[in-house]
Amino acid sequence: MADTMIGGAHIASLRDTVSDAEWGTRVDLAAAFRIAYHLGWNNRLVNHITARVAGEPDHFLMNPHGLGWHEVTASSLVKADFDGNILSEGAAELAPAGLNFHSAILKAKPDVACVCHTHPTPGVVISATKCGLKILDQTGCQLHGEVSYHEFEGYAREADEAPRIVGDLGDKKTMIMWNHGLLSVGRTIGEAISYMRRLIGACELQERVMALGTEIREIPEDVLDYTKQQVEARRPNQALGGPEWRMNLRLVDQLYPDYKT
């Protein structure tokens, strides 16, 4: 596979130097960045999506500091361990805040394969409200019982904050970080992206409804419970978003085929 140039830097292809399992994780994670960029979740250099390397439970992949999400490729992702040691060759750097709590979540939760964190405007808007997220439609019901909250403490780069983020997340799949942004986790990369998509959608809907200035019609708790049960009955013990993830991969193959380099 050919090498590439990104932002003036030479990125050597790793296809023939890593295991098939690691390469598969790299390709899926690079696809996640391109999908997220396409959906408008992030057009800056900040924020991260991380994934545990298949077959290497103590190692994970993360986007290097300095690349936009639209530029991330399978070979440009950086491999690290939970102590912050960079295992990839080259001079890539990892942002300290993302490295801090992403690694802590992956280390504390062996069942989590992917962590996604971003600052989409609707999510930041809801993170700045007193009420937090209100579930207002049937798609949002998939988030019922899956939303946690974490207080804003400044840039999340201090080591002592990471355990609090892990503790506040608990067994939930999503988090609203007050006055900050959004976070999701998943048993697969596709599941973390699917939960983030639903969380951003629910925040966007609430933002629009609140802008109407009229009384909000909330879904009763028993109906939220029942609808969530309906969702779970369709996919017992399965990761969320399997078919949706496959659709996303087809989309990114068409729009951004260089992500596999």
Residue 118 has φ and ψ, to the nearest 5°, of -155, 170
Decide if 49 contacts 32 (C-beta within 8 A): yes
Predicted confidence band of residue 6 (pLDDT cuts 50, 70, 90): low
Rounded to the nearest 10 degrees, what angle do helices 96-108 and 162-169 cross at? 50
Residue 89: predicted pLDDT: 80
Q: How confident is the model at residue 17 (pLDDT cuts 50, 70, 90)?
A: very high
* pLDDT (tens digit per residue) in 94-121: 888 888 999 999 999 999 999 999 999 9
Could you state, in order of their start, the residue ranges of all structural domains in the chain? 4-254
Task: Provide the token pair at 103.
Answer: 């690694």
Q: Is the pLDDT of residue 1 over 70?
A: no
Q: Are 11 and 232 in contact (CB under 8 A)?
A: no
Confidence of residue 20 (pLDDT cuts 50, 70, 90): very high
Three-state DSSP at 107 gives helix
From the CA atom positions of the chain, what is the Rg in Å?
A: 18
Residues composing the chain: 261
Query: What is the tens place of the pLDDT at every residue in 152-188?
Result: 999 988 889 999 999 999 999 999 999 999 999 999 9
Mark out the alpha helices in the chain (DSSP H runs).
20-38, 96-108, 121-127, 162-169, 189-211, 221-234, 242-255
Q: Where are the alpha helices (DSSP H) in 58-95?
A: none
Dihedral sign (CA 248, 249, 250, 251): positive
Let me know if domain 4-254 sits in CATH 3.40.50.1010: no
| Residues linked to residue 174 through DSSP beta bridges, in sequence order | 147, 184
